[in-house]
Amino acid sequence: MTRKARLIYNPVSGHEQMLQNVADILNVLEQAGFEASAFRTTPEPLSAQNEAKRCALAGFDLLVGAGGDGTINEVVNGVASLEKRPKLAVIPAGTTNDFARALKIPRDNLVDAAKVILTGKTQKMDIGRAGKQYFMNIAASGSLTELTYGVPSEVKSVLGYSAYLLKGAEMLPKISSNKMRLTYDDGVYEGDLSMFLLGMTNSIGGFERIMPDAQLSDGLFQLIVVKTANPVDVLRLMAMALNGNHVNDPQIIYTKTKNLKVELLGESKDKDPIPVNLDGEIGGHLPIDFENLKQHIEFYIG
């Protein structure tokens, strides 16, 4: 019986390099024994997500998401709610490519990334649910997280990683805290915080030590809560995070949890709803409930 694979690619990711590589990637999929075809995403909202869902319902065996973490997130959202889910593969063509980094997929050559499929090595991965949305790497909220979605994509393409550092320096004076209640498996935190991070891999914005104890398939999120909004403290914690030393700091809560409920206590400092960032894009607002779906989707890994 013929196995079918669909390449879902974002033509504008990472200096538009996908465009030159589509034919070679389809060739790799054919070598792996798939009848292969491609879909080029459009500027329409949820283009990749809708195509992923359509293909899953049509019985495709493999979906290959090619683009940045936002494109991969859409493909995950297209299939995560379905009873029967195809295997997924990732071709990193974005700026930081956190998820591909965690899966040990080559990030400097798109065709080499596709060749991971030829090894046949897969792993069932945890997926996070946030309200009705899904994420595969990171959920975050609080003023500090604006660092990830506050950088325009065209700036990311030109400056890459340094864009985050420039933005971080610019934003430090604007960091504020809000009073929240976080209910997780082992307890409750009620008080001020400038950010919480809920992660499933060890790679966030290119940093690999922020979640030092991350497991990809244990059914648990890593939860980090940053209590302080003091710029000096935040800079100190950022420096410590480069080595993974931040987790023992008194300004940090670091724990594992399957579930997390986040509520805002009182009004936000600027009176606006507080957004929740899922895999680098805004994916709703507080209050919100999170759940870890253990080993929910099978991915090809390096």
* Range 14-20, long-range pairs (CB < 8 A, 24+ positions): 14/67, 14/68, 14/92, 14/93, 14/94, 14/95, 14/157, 15/157, 17/93, 17/110, 18/66, 18/67, 18/91, 18/93, 18/110
- Residues with Cβ within 8 Å of residue 276, at least 6 apart in sequence: 130, 139, 140, 141, 282, 283, 284, 285, 286, 288
- Three-state secondary structure call for residue 217: coil
Please say if 16 is a catalytic residue: no
CA distance 228 to 244: 18
Write out the two tokens for 14.
Answer: 């990472």
Closest CA to 276 of 167, 112, 141: 141
Write out the two tokens for 247.
Answer: 């987790």
Residues 77 and 51 sit within 8 Å (Cβ to Cβ): no
Q: Which one of the listed residues 208, 263, 281, 298 is annotated catalytic?
A: 281
List, by residue number, the catalytic residues: 281
